[in-house]
Amino acid sequence: MSSHTTTPKKPRTRRISESTIRRLSIYYRALARLEAEGYHTVSSKELARRERLTPAQVRKDLSFFGSFGTRGLGYPVSELRGKIARILGIDRMWNVALIGVGNIGSALVAYKEFQRQGFHIRRIFDNDQRKIGSNHKGIMVSDIADLESELKASKIEITVIAVPAHAAQDVADRCVRAGIKAMLNFAPVNLKVPDDVCLRTENMSMELEYLSFSRVNQGSVETVLLDAEKA
């Protein structure tokens, strides 16, 4: 490679990997615990030990966003926690709507932890006439027919999709049309959304399948190879 490669601009827009963001969530929780335990500072070594990561990983992750530590001392627990909250965008409130208040949906509404984290369920939608108009933890269930208008009117920023799989893509499409840019999906389907919409899918079947795989192939994969060949 030539010494001066064609670097068009400064790489200001560094790409942050998904894993780094996931670890920021981990650090955030770890720091909350450290704070509760009365620590004022923590080293990357200690933080890594607690979360089963490497010190270098911790430092590298944080370095993408700035210099938060003090050499020879470590990171200020409480302050770093605040900075990570800011980076993750959880230093504010988010207006969330739940779509489909069945088994999973009801559990989510009842879960107070999300609210404490700043994710406020402001609206609930369903298509079941028996549910529409009923009260769930102080929130009146709206008719799915009014989805787009209500999402806009109530300034919803994140939708949680908890409808049956066959209805999920349609619901997602309608959310997109209503301008929603972030969704959490519980239906076991790969929803198609535009590039500028952030979609996360919580697929419990996939997690169970992963467990299953890891049990069948206890560490090694030789078994699978054999099985697959003779099958």
Ligand X SMILES: NC(=O)c1ccc[n+]([C@@H]2O[C@H](COP(=O)([O-])OP(=O)(O)OC[C@H]3O[C@@H](n4cnc5c(N)ncnc54)[C@H](O)[C@@H]3O)[C@@H](O)[C@H]2O)c1
Partner DNA sequence: TTTTTATTGTGAATGAGTTCACATACCACG
Partner DNA sequence: CGTGGTATGTGAACTCATTCACAATAAAAA
Looking at residues 62 to 81 of the shown chain, list those that interact with a copy of itself (rule: CB under 8 A): 64-66, 68
Tokens at residue 12, please?
């200001």
Rounded to the nearest whole angstrom, what is the least distance from the CB of residue 218 to DNA in the complex?
18
Task: Give first-to-last CA distance, the chain, whole Å.
Answer: 48
- Nearest CA to 51 among 34, 69, 27? 27
Tokens at residue 5, please?
């490669």
Told to check if 190 binds a copy of itself by CB under 8 A, we report yes
Told to check if 39 binds a copy of itself by CB under 8 A, we report no
Q: Give the binding range for a copy of itself (CB under 8 A) out of 24-32, 122-130, 132-140, 142-150.
A: 24-32
Told to check if 86 binds a copy of itself by CB under 8 A, we report yes
* Residue whose CB is less far from ligand X, 53 or 189: 189
Told to check if 5 binds a copy of itself by CB under 8 A, we report no
Dihedral sign computed on CA atoms, order 104, 114, 25, 53: negative
Looking at residues 212 to 231 of the shown chain, list those that interact with a copy of itself (rule: CB under 8 A): 212-222, 224-225, 227-229, 231
Interface residue with a copy of itself among 78, 88, 167, 169 (CB under 8 A) is 88
Q: According to DSSP H, which parts of 77-221 are helical? A: 77-88, 103-110, 112-116, 147-153, 165-177, 204-216
Told to check if 113 binds ligand X by CB under 6 A, we report yes
Question: Distance between CA 215 and CA 85 in Å, rounded?
Answer: 37
